[in-house]
Chains A and B, each alone.
Chain A
Amino acid sequence: MNEYIIIGNGVAAVGCIEGVRSQDAEGRITVISKERHPVYCRPLISYYLEGKTDLSRMPYRDEDFYEKSGCRVLYGLASAQIDPAKQTVTTDDGKTLSYTSVCVATGSSPFVPPIAGLDTVPDKFSFMTLDDALALEEATQTPKRVLIVGAGLIGLKCAEGLHARAASITVCDLADHVLPSILDADCASILQSHLEQNGIRFMLSDTVERFDGCTAHMRSGGTVDFDVLVMAVGVRANTALAKGCGCETNRGVLVGDNMETTVSGIYAAGDCTEGTDASCGQKRVLAILPNAYMQGFTAGVNMAGGTARFDNAIPMNAISFFGLHVMTAGTYDGELYEEKTDGGCKKLYTKDDLLKGFILIGDTTRAGLYTSLIRERTSLQTINFELMKKVATSAAYSSEKRKRSFGGVV
């Protein structure tokens, strides 16, 4: 009987379990979980603070998921070692488990820069895990002044999550605009003013030079007094485990389209990996939930002897702040088509007869059609792109394609 070990218990692990089970109903699956929770929806932690969800609705799968999948979960094991020669995993409680194949799904960790005086801050948090959210909830039982360092996805979602609980929220970032990893300055300003209208204060192109208890001394010279500090500067892929057993790593664990690392029998999936971005052909860490699941599933299928490839991963994000929706995907490279809409915008980037990427703010109707053009690398000549760029609609496709889509089994 095959022995499958999955290190990590996030969405990639679920994908991996379901991938394995699609091939092998018998083999034993062991999940080694650092967190002491069954798999939950990590991106929901801000919604939890906001009160849009609660602990009962946050599990990613049903209560009996592990049992039904024939899986045992070892909770609370912070680290593990893989010995690829012996095909064993040793957990930090000293147990050694042998495996037929193993999947590294260790995710990522918040990166906390060494800012002077950080240790003097009494209430400081990261915002990555459910435990982080629970701790922040506890710390904001009464309205507090919150300083968030980092205006990326995590920082801004945290700001939205804490909005109703906080006396004030200040977000600072070294970058000159919000969401620097997915928005250009132009689009970011639309979002920023929307956030500002909702009471979030920004200090951009600025950073904390040093902390002095509950006071942050900014590089620009000013100071911010706060009660609660959230460090959301960025995340780093957890590559140590894979690196330690000889897997090649860069910013993440390098994987092929089949999710195998450079060491045979060791697979990796999720936020800890660096796979190919189909929109530009380069290796990138694509730390988003859909990719985590799809990578996990692909890894699982291959671990259990099947053949699966996942070769159309692209960066993509759907995120909203106070009712304003922002969607981005792909690479912002090539010719730009731009539309300004009431309170939003649309930007499409085309190159070499392909849609490469887009940014939508406000109207996001049927955005999936754009995403699909990028992922499927659809030749724009084969569709009515003049129509498509104005409205995302399958009316831009040929009637044969529509016939397949809406009259066939897909």
Chain B
Amino acid sequence: MKRVYVNEAWCLGCHLCEYNCAFANSGLQDMATALKGKPIYPRIHIEGSDAITYAVSCRHCTDPICVKSCIAGAIRKRDGVVRIDQTKCVGCLTCVLVCPYGALSPNENGVMQKCELCLQNSCGEPACVTGCPNRAIVYEEREEDA
């Protein structure tokens, strides 16, 4: 299945993916209207040190530990995509405690959110990928152990 992959060799640490993500999931038509003057709660985050930067979002693990650990049964994997039912989430952060990638984070209301590959919003394909200026984030099919 297609997933989002990141190549740190090309990540510029520009943080555009975070803004594109926040905008894509805002449901609004204009980025300035959606994001101006507010803190953003993206589902992808730039991490790194002085030397390298890279974007971290849900890996949609083959065997996702967040799904097994969610105390609210809110995280499920369907058609290869790990999704969270935000109406069920109570914000206990158990998923944060177990995710080895640091891919989940709370939204402004303390409800957990995670990358769902922009399948649930109007983007059609991941906004972080479309907006990456250096193709450091790609959305493609890769072989296991590739």
Contact = CB atoms under 8 A, between A and B. Distances in A.
Q: Which of A325, A364, A406 has the most CB of B within 10 A?
A: A406
B144 A325 contact: no
A207 B61 CA distance: 47
Q: Which of B5, B95, B96 has the most CB of A within 10 A?
A: B96
B106 to A, nearest CB: 10
Given A393-B102, A406-B6, A297 B94 contact: no
B24 to A, nearest CB: 20
5 contacts: A59-B73, A293-B69, A368-B99, A369-B100, A394-B56
Contact of B47 (A320, A395, A410): A395
A392 B94 contact: no
Interface string A234-257: 000000000000000000000000
A387 B51 CA distance: 13
Contacts of A59: 73
Interface stretch (B31-39, B83-91, B116-124, B127-135): B83-91
Contacts of B72: 41, 43-44, 53, 57
A16 to B, nearest CB: 13
By secondary structure, the B interface counts as loop
A368 B59 contact: no
A297 B99 CA distance: 19
B27 interface: no
Interface of B: 3, 5-8, 47-49, 52, 54-56, 59, 61-62, 65, 68-69, 71-73, 87-88, 90-102, 105, 110, 142-146
A304 interface: no
B7 A368 contact: no
Contacts of A376: 100
A351 interface: no
A290 interface: yes
A232 B110 CA distance: 28
Given A44-B90, A293-B69, A294-B68, A316 B97 contact: yes
A53 B90 contact: yes
A325 B93 contact: yes
A318 B5 contact: no
Nearest to B97: A318
A327 B92 CA distance: 10
Given A41-B71, A399-B52, A366 B96 contact: yes
Nearest to B100: A372
Contacts of B101: 368-369, 394, 405-406, 410
A406 B90 contact: no
Contact of A61 (B6, B73, B102): B73
A369 B142 CA distance: 24
Contacts of B62: 409-410
A371 interface: yes
A387 B52 CA distance: 14
B54 A409 contact: no
